[in-house]
Structure 1
Amino acid sequence: MKIFVTGVAGQLGHDVMNELASRGYVGVGTDLAETYSGIQDGSYVTTAEYVSLDITNSEAVMNTIKSVNPDVVVHCAAWTAVDLAEDEDKQAKVKAINVDGTQNIADACKEVDAKMVYISTDYVFDGQGTKPWQPDCKDYKPLNVYGQTKLGGELAVSNTLSKYFIVRIAWVFGKNGNNFIKTMLNVGKKFDTLRVVND
């Protein structure tokens, strides 16, 4: 089985590629840079087949996915800077990546009859519920611009494909890139006491 993974220079894409390899699958990675630009840790992703791709370029996405002809596409690429997404001058770019780019991936998956795994977020809901949302709940209430665009990506996938999985995650951490755990470890080296907001 061949699996095409977007966003492999990021935390999630990096670890997805390595997890695929550990399970015996062939992963083909992609990101914006000409060559793999994530952490150089010697793991599978650093030497795996790689294709440079701008997911906002619909023609390039279609041509690339048709050429790779994967069985599955795991779409990890996204604008993930939640606070910066609120800046008015960045909102068009956030939409281009999270909504339009996802639509391009979904269209190409449909063309080659590949399954698609779309990584979304709990921010498509407002967090004010009193019980867990059911998997097919459509009572969306995005918290912010980021949540709105990730919901737009979900709808692009679900309205285009019949073979897809939408996985909503709340927290990402890994070896590659910055994350809360690394921040706390670094701050812990500098201070005797840490104060963390619990909201």
Structure 2
Amino acid sequence: MKVFVTGVNGQLGHDVMNELAKRGYEGVGSDLAPEYAGVNDGTAVTKAPYMSLDITDADAVDKVITEVNPDVIIHCAAWTAVDMAEDDDKVAAVRKVNVGGTQNIANVAKKLDVPMVYLSTDYVFDGQGTKPWEPDFKGYKPLNVYGETKLGGEKAVSDTLDKYFIVRIAWVFGINGHNFIKTMLKVGTNHDEVKVVDDQIGTP
């Protein structure tokens, strides 16, 4: 089985590619850079086929993914800088990537009649619940641009495709990219005392 993966230079795409290799699947990675630009840790993702792709370019998305002709598409690419997404001069770009880019990929998945896995976020909700949300719960209440645009991506997928999976994840960490755990380890090496917010509950 051949799987096309977006965003492999990021934290999530890096690990998805490696997990596919462990399971014996052929992963074809893509991202904006001309060549793989994630951490060079010698794992499978660093040696896998790679395609440079701007997901906001509909024609390029159609051309590249059609040429690869995958059996499945896993869409990990996204604008994930949550705080920066709130800047007025960044909102249009965030929407272009998280909604428009996702729509472009969903369109090709429909054309090729292949399933698409879309990695979304708990930010589509307001975080005020007292128990886990049910998988089909529709009480969306995003509180920021990132959440709004990831919800827009979810709708692009569900409105376009019959064959899809939407997976909402949070507190992601890995060897590649930035994350809370790395930040805490770094801060811990050069501060005698570290104060961290304690009003969030998550599962890394």
> Into which bin does the TM-score normalised by the smaller protein fall?
over 0.9
The answer for unaligned runs of 5 or more in structure 2 is 200-204
Paired letter, 1:66? T
Aligned partner of 2:27 in structure 1 is 27
Q: Give how far 1:41 is off.
A: 0.6
Aligned partner of 1:170 in structure 2 is 170
Paired letter, 2:114? A
Measure the CA separation in 2 of the matches of 1:19 and 1:131: 30
Q: Percent identity?
A: 71
Q: SS where residue 28 of structure 2 aligns?
A: strand
Q: Give how far 1:57 is off.
A: 0.3
Aligned partner of 2:89 in structure 1 is 89
Measure the CA separation in 2 of the matches of 1:160 and 1:63: 19
Q: SS where residue 123 of structure 1 aligns?
A: helix
Q: SS where residue 181 of structure 1 aligns?
A: helix
Aligned partner of 1:114 in structure 2 is 114
| TM-score normalized with structure 2 length | 0.96
Aligned partner of 2:132 in structure 1 is 132
Q: SS where residue 172 of structure 1 aligns?
A: coil
**Does 110-119 or 128-137 show the bigger shift?**
128-137
Does structure 1 residue 71 correspond to structure 2 residue 71? yes
Measure the CA separation in 1 of the matches of 2:179 and 2:21: 24
Q: Give how far 1:152 is off.
A: 0.1
Q: Give how far 1:88 is off.
A: 0.7
Q: SS where residue 88 of structure 1 aligns?
A: coil
Q: Please list the CA deviations of residues 17-53 of structure 1 after superposition, one character each: whole Å capped at 9, or x if unmatched.
A: 0010011000000000110011111111111000000
Does structure 1 residue 188 correspond to structure 2 residue 188? yes
Paired letter, 2:72? V
Aligned partner of 1:40 in structure 2 is 40
Does structure 1 residue 80 correspond to structure 2 residue 80? yes
Q: Please list the CA deviations of residues 108-131 of structure 1 after superposition, one character each: whole Å capped at 9, or x if unmatched.
A: 001111110000000100011233
Q: SS where residue 89 of structure 1 aligns?
A: coil
Measure the CA separation in 1 of the matches of 2:20 and 2:144: 32
Q: SS where residue 147 of structure 1 aligns?
A: helix
The answer for unaligned runs of 5 or more in structure 1 is none
Measure the CA separation in 1 of the matches of 2:138 and 2:76: 22
Q: Give how far 1:132 is off.
A: 2.0
Q: Give how far 1:154 is off.
A: 0.1
Give the CA RMSD over aligned residues: 0.8
Q: SS where residue 188 of structure 2 aligns?
A: helix
Aligned partner of 1:49 in structure 2 is 49
| TM-score normalized with structure 1 length | 0.98
Measure the CA separation in 1 of the matches of 2:24 and 2:109: 22
Count residues with an aligned counterpart: 199
Q: SS where residue 29 of structure 1 aligns?
A: strand
Runs of 4+ with deviation above 3 angstroms? none
